[in-house]
Amino acid sequence: MKKKIIIGILCLWILTLLLFLYKETIQKNTSYELETIIQETENTVQSITKAKTKDSKLNREITKYIEEKQEEFLDFTKNKTSLYLLEREEFNIDTNIFETKEYLSVTMMTYQNGPSFSVPSNEIKTILWNTKKRRKSTIQDFLRSKDSLEPLRQEVFSLFEKECPHCLNSERFKQEFGEDSTSFFLTSTGFSFTVNPSLLQEDYHDYLIVSLPKKNPYLFYPEEKEEKEEDSQPETKKRVIDPSLPSIALTFDDGPSPYTEEILKILEENEVNATFFILGNKVTTYKEILKKSVANGNELGNHSYNHQWLSRLSTKELEKQIDQTQEILQKEIHYTPTFLRPTYGSTNRRITKNSHLEIALWTVDTKDWRIRNPDRIVLRATHNIKDFDIILMHDTYERSKDALKKIIPNLKKQGFQLVTLSELQEIKKIREYIKDASLNP
Ligand code: ZN
């Protein structure tokens, strides 16, 4: 009996240890954690979601800001007794982080409300942190030239005006733009600008957020400079992505093939981008086409080395299928995919665990591998399509190429913006962020 208990305890202990190790490996992949602390007293309730990064210097900046805000709040609400005994003073800080190659954008939204406040108080602050130089950055660090600031300000102002006509106090905006580093941050699709409600007309209490694409005439996206120096990843073309538009991703599997080049041309003519899940064994043959695809702004994903049924393979074989494809893409065109689309859309825990890539399936199957009539493919790709749909096609059939010529204009006419999978993810993130900001809490 005693033995059984001991074995039981031992098993439990091992299980806890394994879980702990598993958690550790997950956390290793990101350079920050978010932690929420709730403090309640008789008169106040505080909920603070705080970022803990790997950089102690940045952590101190974050803590300093939060403590300042907390102190202000406690000062403001001190000695005020509520007529309504049940109502408490509320203080809330929510944090979002956007991570790019060299920067962490930590955005903190403070919301205060309660008996002491005539209207809820909102504030947004961003710390744009250069993780290499370990210091704060401002717009000034990204300007193409000194003369870029004024046209940039006008452009951003007109974007805000479009978002909310006559909401912004233009004089104050003019004064603070470029000075106030707290309203500017980087995402993986470009630059974002925010305005605090204090800069807005009195009856407007939300935040405003607008975005500019990576390629724009005023600002340098940080990776852009490096790419030129290294001369490795080909330059991407200018394209404007608006996170507020309904967005979908076109994806093509099993290529490249003799049809890929023409598909690239169709995408280019329509000024849209797509994601291609490619097979490793085709990379060398179609090296130039893949380079062009990336140069045009398209994204490449991993679809195994030679289309074996991944979920049926041993772990070792499975890893080989994925790794070989990553390696050959790196070697031939200096490209590293971040998504894996398992063959036949068949996935399992082993694939998720061993691939080190994000699994990307689809929501709309055009069945172009089976349907021979291009018009029926068009119908499947354009009927009942909704925001954030991921459409599956193949760049290995002539009929798919023919259908695409009609699919893109049709989707555009329906108001959709066609983006890559990474862009789609980023749009989702920005939208959630905006939603959080305006619903907070
Ligand atoms: Zn396939």
CATH number at residue 62: 3.30.565.40
**Burial class of residue 206 (count of CB atoms within 10 Å of its CB; 0-12, 13-18, 19+):** middle
Do 163 and 304 sit in the same domain of this protein?
no
Contacts of 194 (CB under 8 A, 6+ apart): 107, 124, 126, 183, 184, 185, 207, 208, 209
Percent of the chain beyond pLDDT 70? 85
**Tens-place pLDDT, residues 322-363:** 999 999 999 999 999 999 999 999 999 999 888 889 999 999
Q: Is residue 440 part of a domain?
A: no
Q: Is residue 228 part of a domain?
A: no
Do 401 and 296 sit in the same domain of this protein?
yes
**Which sign does the torsion angle of CA 138, 143, 145, 150 carry?**
negative
Do 155 and 267 sit in the same domain of this protein?
no
Lowest-pLDDT range, 71-80, 260-269, 320-329, 423-432?
71-80
Where is pLDDT greater, at 358 or 239? 358
pLDDT over 60 (residue 255): yes
Q: Is 253 a catalytic residue?
A: yes
Do 258 and 321 sit in the same domain of this protein?
yes
Q: Which of 165, 187, 221 is the last residue of a domain?
A: 221
Q: Is 394 a catalytic residue?
A: yes
Do 331 and 424 sit in the same domain of this protein?
yes
**The residue type at 65:** Y
Dist. CA 338–CA 336, nearest whole Å: 7
Do 289 and 428 sit in the same domain of this protein?
yes
**Burial class of residue 420 (count of CB atoms within 10 Å of its CB; 0-12, 13-18, 19+):** buried
Do 381 and 286 sit in the same domain of this protein?
yes
Q: Is residue 406 part of a domain?
A: yes
Q: Is residue 17 part of a domain?
A: no
pLDDT of residue 68: 94
Q: Which of 204, 221, 238 is the last residue of a domain?
A: 221
226 band by pLDDT with thresholds 50, 70 and 90: very low
pLDDT of residue 95: 85
Length reported for the chain: 441
Catalytic residue among 253, 368, 395, 402: 253
Using the mean position of ligand 1's atoms as its centre, give its distance from the Cα of residue 391 in Å. Answer: 14
Do 296 and 397 sit in the same domain of this protein?
yes
Using the mean position of ligand 1's atoms as its centre, give its distance from the Cα of residue 17 in Å. Answer: 38
Q: Is residue 64 part of a domain?
A: yes
Dist. CA 247–CA 34, nearest whole Å: 28
Dist. CA 406–CA 381, nearest whole Å: 10
Q: Which of 205, 221, 237 is the last residue of a domain?
A: 221
Average pLDDT of the chain is 84
pLDDT of residue 175: 81
pLDDT of residue 125: 87
Chain-centre distance for alpha carbon 361: 17
Do 173 and 111 sit in the same domain of this protein?
no
Domains held by the chain: number: 3
**Tens-place pLDDT, residues 43-80:** 888 888 888 898 889 999 999 999 999 999 998 888 76
Quick one: average pLDDT of 156-170?
A: 83
pLDDT of residue 20: 46
pLDDT of residue 25: 36
Q: Is residue 240 part of a domain?
A: no
Using the mean position of ligand 1's atoms as its centre, give its distance from the Cα of residue 414 in Å. Answer: 28
pLDDT over 80 (residue 238): no
Q: Is residue 381 part of a domain?
A: yes
Q: What is the CATH number of the domain that holds 408?
A: 3.20.20.370
Residue 110 CB coordination number (10 Å): 22
Catalytic residue among 254, 394, 395, 402: 394
Do 320 and 411 sit in the same domain of this protein?
yes
161 band by pLDDT with thresholds 50, 70 and 90: confident
Using the mean position of ligand 1's atoms as its centre, give its distance from the Cα of residue 436 in Å. Answer: 37
Do 300 and 415 sit in the same domain of this protein?
yes
Q: Is residue 236 part of a domain?
A: no
106 is in which domain, residue-wise? 32-128
Do 275 and 402 sit in the same domain of this protein?
yes
Using the mean position of ligand 1's atoms as its centre, give its distance from the Cα of residue 254 in Å. Answer: 5
24 band by pLDDT with thresholds 50, 70 and 90: very low
Radius of gyration in angstroms for the set of CA atoms belonging to the chain, rounded to a whole number:
25
